[in-house]
Structure 1
Amino acid sequence: MDRATRRRRRRKAWIVVAVVVTVVLASTGGYVAWALNAPLPEPTVEWQTPDVSVPPAVTIAMPVEGSAAISVAGADEYLGAVASGIWMSSGSADPRPMASISKLITALVILDAKPLSGPDDPGPTINFGEADRDLFDEYYVLGATVAEMPRGTSMSLHDALATMLIPSASNYAEAVSTWAFGSQGAFVGAAQRWLAANGLTGTTIVEPTGISPRNTSTPSDMIAIGKLAAANPVIAQIAATASLNLPGPGAMFNTNGLLGTSGITGLKTGTLGENAYTLLYTAILDVGTGQPLSVTGIVLGGFSRDSVSTGVINLLDSIRGGFHNVPLSVRGQQVGTYTTAWGSAGRMVLLDSASILTWSDTPITVTMDTTRPETYEDGESVGTISWTAGPNTATADVTLEGGIERPTSWWRLTHPGELG
C-alpha cells in the first residue's frame, strides 16, 4: 500500500471518529437540556378532611292545646316546598269556633264589596243612626267587646274597620256590615259566597262578630284566611296597629298583645268562653337566609290567652333556633399534605375561616379540588375545599404553607422515567 493510500484511510477514520463524537455530544447535551426542563411529576396529595359537627335535629314546639297549624314562606329550600302550605299541625283538623277572628272575615268581605285603594285611602263616610247606636247595649249585655258610638257619629270606612278590628268592637262589626250590604241577611249571603269563591269549605259564618259558636273554621282554612288578610294592605296595616285614638270611640288598644314580640306582625285574637281562646297570627323571622321568613299560624281552642301566647312564642323561637351558622374551619388549618417524587413535602392549609348556614340537622358534604403547583412557593394557591348543606355552599382556598423544595439538577438527570 503506497503512502497516498494510507493517508486517505487515516483521513476517513478521523472523519468517522469526529462524526461519532459529535453525535454522542449532541445526544448528551439534548438529554441534559430535556431533563433539566421537563415537567415534574404530579405531587401525591393526602387530604385531611376537617371534622364538622352537624347540629342535632331541631324540635319544633307546636302548641299542645287545642288545634294549631303553621305555614312558613320563604324557606322552601330549607324546609321543603310543603312548608309554604301547611308545614306542621297539631290537634284535631275539625272545625272549631273562631270567635272574633270572624271579624277578619267580615272585613275581607266588606272590602271585597267596598274596596279601598290602599291603607291611606279613608274610603266613603259612614253615618251611623240610632239603630247602630243601640247595638252598643245589645252586645254589652251579651258580654261582647264594644266601642263607644256617640249620637251623630260618622267616620270613614277605614276608621270603622279599624274600630272593628283593633279593639274587636262587635257593635261596629254589625253596623259596618249592615251599611255595606243593607241587612245582616245580605251580609251573611255575601260572606258565604266569598268563602265558596276562595275554596274555604271548612269555614262557616252566620253573623259578623264571632259571638256565635256556629262561626267555625278548620286550622287549614284559618291559615288560608290569614294569608288573604295579610295580603290585603288595608287589613295588614290595621292589624299591625297597636293603638288608635279616634273621635267617637276614643282611645283603643289592639287585643293582640303579642304585636312586636318574636317578630309577630298581626292578625287577630278571639275568645269565646273557657278553653276557647283563638289567635290567628303572622310573623316575620330574620334567620339569616337573606330573605326573612313569612309565618302564618293559628291556634283554635286554646286554654287561655297567656297559654296560647306562650305556645306561639315558643313555636316561633324553635323555628328561629333551628337555623344555625355551623363553623367549618379556621384560617391556617391543615387540610392535606403534598409529597413529591423527589422527597420534598409541604402542608396544605386554608387561607380563610369558613362557616355555613344550615337548617336543623341537614347533612354537610365536603368536596376538595387540587391544582398542580406551578412555583412550589409559600402561599401558592393549590386548590379549594367546599362544603354544601341544603341550598348553601361555603368555599375556602387552599394554599401551600412554607413552599416545597424543587428537585436538584442531579435528581432530574438521574430520574428520567419520572419526568413528564
Structure 2
Amino acid sequence: MSAARRASHRPHYVRRRIGFFSLLALLVAAGVYFPATLLAPIAPASAVVTSFKAPAETKLDLTFPSYGATAVEAVGFDDSLKTSGDSKPRSIASISKIVTALVVLDKKPLNGGNGPKITFTAADHALYATYLAQDGEVAQMDIGQTLTERQVLQVALIKSANNYAGALANWAFGSNSAYVTAVKSWLGAHHLDDTTLVEPTGLNPNNRSTATDLVSLGKLALANKDISSIVATKSISVPGVGTVDNSNKLLGIDDVVGIKTGTLDQAGACLLFATKEDIDGHEVTVVGVMLGGKDHDSLDVDVQKLLAGVKAGFQTIDAVAKGDVYGTYATKWGVTAHAQATESVSELVYGDVTVTAAPKLQSVSKKAAGAKVGTLRVAIGSKKITVPLALDHAVTEPGAWWRITNPSLVF
C-alpha cells in the first residue's frame, strides 16, 4: 500500500483504538462501580428521640387538727407517712389494749381458732370494782365464768372493757410485772422505741406512745388476722356478757375497719384508725391516729376530714400507653419507621410523685417490623419499669437503583 493510502487509514484506526479502549475502560469501571455500590455497607440510621411528657402531678392536701398529735400513712406507698402536732410520747388510753392483745397472742396465738378456755378467778372478778372505781369501762364478769380466749379478746377490744384486758394479761403472764417485762421485749423487737406500757388497760396515763409509733402499731394489728377481724366487728353477743357494741363509732363509715378508741382525762379523745377501700381496682389500706381530741364526736369529724384528703391524694398515673412513639428512624433511601412502646405502664400513686422516662435506642439499617430496637426506662417515684421499644414498620436496605444513582450517599 502506498504511503498516501496508509496515511488516510490512520485516523480511522486511531479512532477505533480509542473507542475500543474507552469501551474497555467503561466496562472495567462498570465492573468495579456496580459491585462496589451494590455491595457497599450502608451506615445505619439513628433515631430521632421523642421527648417524654410527664403527666400532671397531684398535690397532697391534708386537713390536720390543731390539737394533740396526728399521723397517717397510705400503707405501701413511699414517703406517705405524714404527721402533725407534737412528736413526744403522749398518754394513749385504751389504745394500750391493742398492745396487750398482740403481746398475749404472741405467747398464746389463736391461729384463726378460738383458743383455750379461760375461767375467771376471784382476782379477775375483783378487777371489775377496781376499774369501775377509776371510771373505766367494764363488763360483767362472774367468778367461775368460762369464755374462750377469742371471746375475752372480743370484750376487751370491742367494748374496751378494762377488766377483760386485765384478766387476759394475768391469764397469759401471771402478774402485771411479768406482763410489763413481756411488753418491753415485744416493743423492742418491733422497733416501737417510743412506746411504754406499765399496765394492760390504758387507765394509767403513763402508758405512752408517739403518733408515728402508733401508726406502726396499727399496721401490726391489721397484719394479725385475729385482731383485724375483732376490731372490725360492730356488735357481737358474748355468753354471760350480753351484746357488746364497738366503741368506735366510725366503724363502717368511709371504709373504716378499726382499730381502737381511747379516752382518758390526761390523753383526751384518741383514735387509732384504719380504712380499706378500692381505688381504681387496687385495695388501699390507710392507717392513722389522732391523739388529744376534746371529745370523740369532734375527733371523729376531724378524722373524716383527714381521710377525705387522703382519698383525694390517690391517682392512677398513665405514664406510658402501648403504641406511644419514642423515636423515629428516617433513612436516606426514604424508609420511615417508629420505635413504639410495646406495653402500657399505669401506676396508682399517692400525692406528688415525680414521673420520668428515658428512651435508649439502637441504630438500625435492616430490621423487621416488631423488632426490638431499644428500651424505655420509666421511673414513677421509686418504682422502676423497663418497657421494650419495637419498630412499627420494617427498616429495609436500599434498592439497587438507589445505590447506583446515589454514590455520594453510598461511599
TM-score bracket for the superposition, by shorter chain length: 0.7 to 0.9
2:6 aligned residue: none
Decide whether aligned partners of structure 1 residues 265 and 33 sit closer, same or farther in structure 2, where only a CA change above 3 A counts.
Answer: same
Decide whether aligned partners of structure 1 residues 253 and 385 sit closer, same or farther in structure 2, where only a CA change above 3 A counts.
Answer: same
C-alpha offsets along residues 67-112 of structure 1, whole Å, 9 cap, x if unaligned? 1234555334xx3xxx6xxx33221122322111122233344445
2:8 aligned residue: none
Determine if contact 1:270/1:278 at 8 Å carries over to the other structure: yes
Aligned equivalents of 1:401 and 1:117: distance in 2?
62
Aligned counterpart in structure 1 of residue 294 of structure 2, from 292, 300, 303:
303
Aligned equivalents of 2:340 and 2:248: distance in 1?
51
1:145 aligned residue: 137
Residue type at the aligned position of 1:59: D
Decide whether aligned partners of structure 1 residues 393 and 23 sit closer, same or farther in structure 2, where only a CA change above 3 A counts.
Answer: same
Q: What secondary structure is seen at the aligned counterpart in 2 of 1:297? A: strand
Aligned equivalents of 2:267 and 2:248: distance in 1?
18
1:67 aligned residue: 69
Q: What secondary structure is seen at the aligned counterpart in 2 of 1:279? A: strand
Determine if contact 1:346/1:404 at 8 Å carries over to the other structure: no
Decide whether aligned partners of structure 1 residues 257 and 136 sit closer, same or farther in structure 2, where only a CA change above 3 A counts.
Answer: same
| 2:108 equivalent to 1:115 | yes
2:202 aligned residue: 210
| 2:358 equivalent to 1:366 | yes
- Deviation of 1:371 after TM superposition, in Å, equals 4.5
1:11 aligned residue: none
Determine if contact 1:351/1:399 at 8 Å carries over to the other structure: no
| 2:22 equivalent to 1:33 | no
C-alpha offsets along residues 333-360 of structure 1, whole Å, 9 cap, x if unaligned? 6666544435x36463747784442552
Aligned equivalents of 1:402 and 1:228: distance in 2?
55
2:273 aligned residue: 281
- Deviation of 1:237 after TM superposition, in Å, equals 3.8
C-alpha offsets along residues 171-211 of structure 1, whole Å, 9 cap, x if unaligned? 322333344455xxx31453155225633564444443223
Residue type at the aligned position of 2:241: P
Residue type at the aligned position of 1:417: S
Aligned equivalents of 1:332 and 1:107: distance in 2?
53
Q: How many residues align?
A: 398
Counterparts of residues 348-363 of structure 1 (less than 5 Å): 348=338, 350=340, 354-357=344-347, 358-359=349-350, 360-363=352-355
Determine if contact 2:353/2:380 at 8 Å carries over to the other structure: no
| 5+ residue gaps, structure 1 | 2-13
| 2:185 equivalent to 1:191 | no
Residue type at the aligned position of 2:356: I
Decide whether aligned partners of structure 1 residues 404 and 322 sit closer, same or farther in structure 2, where only a CA change above 3 A counts.
Answer: farther
- Deviation of 1:168 after TM superposition, in Å, equals 0.8
Residue type at the aligned position of 1:29: G
1:7 aligned residue: none
- Deviation of 1:400 after TM superposition, in Å, equals 5.0
- Deviation of 1:130 after TM superposition, in Å, equals 5.3
The root-mean-square deviation of aligned C-alpha atoms, in Å, is 4.6
| 2:191 equivalent to 1:173 | no
What is the TM-score of this pair, normalised by structure 1?
Answer: 0.73
- Deviation of 1:120 after TM superposition, in Å, equals 0.3
Determine if contact 1:41/1:341 at 8 Å carries over to the other structure: no
Aligned counterpart in structure 1 of residue 90 of structure 2, from 96, 108, 111:
96
- Percent sequence identity over matched residues? 30
Determine if contact 2:91/2:267 at 8 Å carries over to the other structure: no
2:4 aligned residue: none
Determine if contact 2:196/2:209 at 8 Å carries over to the other structure: yes
2:316 aligned residue: 325
153-162 or 258-267: which moved more?
258-267
Aligned equivalents of 2:17 and 2:399: distance in 1?
40
Aligned equivalents of 1:279 and 1:397: distance in 2?
50
What is the TM-score of this pair, normalised by structure 2?
Answer: 0.75
Determine if contact 1:356/1:389 at 8 Å carries over to the other structure: no
Q: What secondary structure is seen at the aligned counterpart in 2 of 1:395? A: strand
